[in-house]
Amino acid sequence: MTVDELVGRNEWQEVNEKYRRPFVVYKFAATLDGRIAATDGTSQWITSPESRAEVHLLRAGCQATIVGSGTQQADNPNLAVRGNDDPRLNLSHVSEPWKQPYRVIVDTEAKTPRDANVLNDAAPTIIAVADDTDASHLEDLAEVVKVRRGTKGLDIQILLEELYNRQIHGVFLEGGPTLAGSFVAAGVVDRVVNYIAPAMLGEGKSGLIGSGIQTMSDILRLELIEVSRSGPDIRVVARPKR
């Protein structure tokens, strides 16, 4: 599959026009037993260098990469697309013109520290905070977007509306599982890309927390689009059945 096919480009417009929000791709890396991190919170690196390089191409195929404040604090990720200096990374696979996607941190209380990697100059950054949070200490380093509070953290629909108003039509949600759970609960995940490493962790968080799924009748069934190998890992591409 091409990068455009993996991130569901041909479905973006329909979602954009129908819901006035960006198309959402939820990507996560897990073990065979469905863990996305060890019990101590470490998760780098569950999958192989090949899969991680591919993730950079998928990021480049979208217009914003989103993570929750939990992931910012646990991993201090950079989230910018690496350049062609990595031999595994061939950015010519991404439709032209592409530019560094926004890095979006969903950070209700503006806890992202000023020296966080997402605040470097590798790509533009949006810090989404609650409308009653003082984020003036971040305003010279990132665009601060104020969003109404939801039942948990920020209201996901309003967050997506704000991104859509900035001409962001497709986003790459990279977790963590608490934020992804709220996206699923809000019914705004359009595609799932899951890299599965042939490994087991036994304990640790799974790919979704707080999604509101309590019993088998609530199960979120997915329609399989493709299953293939990514280096030593398995890549599964699926979409929620509507």
Residues that bind ligand NAP (CB under 6 A): 28-29, 36-37, 41, 43, 46, 67-71, 74-75, 106-109, 150, 152-154, 156, 174-179, 182, 205, 209
Residue placing its CB nearer to ligand NAP in the complex, 63 or 211: 211
Residue closest to 25 by CA, chosen among 51, 59, 57: 59
Residue placing its CB nearer to ligand NAP in the complex, 63 or 178: 178
- DSSP output for 5-61: HHTTHHHHHHHHHHHSS-EEEEEEEEETT-BSS-TTS--TTSS-HHHHHHHHHHHHT
Min dist CB 94 to ligand NAP, Å, is: 21
Min dist CB 97 to ligand NAP, Å, is: 28
Min dist CB 175 to ligand NAP, Å, is: 3
Min dist CB 27 to ligand NAP, Å, is: 7
Min dist CB 28 to ligand NAP, Å, is: 4
Give the number of C-alpha atoms closer than 13 A to the C-alpha of residue 133, restricted to the C-beta side. 23
Query: What element of type H or E holds 75?
Result: helix 69-75
The answer to whether 3 and 170 have CB atoms below 8 angstroms apart is: no
Residue placing its CB nearer to ligand NAP in the complex, 63 or 71: 71
Residue placing its CB nearer to ligand NAP in the complex, 85 or 137: 137
Residue placing its CB nearer to ligand NAP in the complex, 60 or 156: 156
The answer to whether 177 and 194 have CB atoms below 8 angstroms apart is: no
Min dist CB 45 to ligand NAP, Å, is: 9
Largest CA distance in the chain: 48
Residue 16, number of CB atoms within 10 A of its CB: 16
Amino acid, res. 103: R
Residue placing its CB nearer to ligand NAP in the complex, 8 or 153: 153
Q: Hey, CA dihedral for 135, 141, 147, 150, is it positive or negative?
A: negative
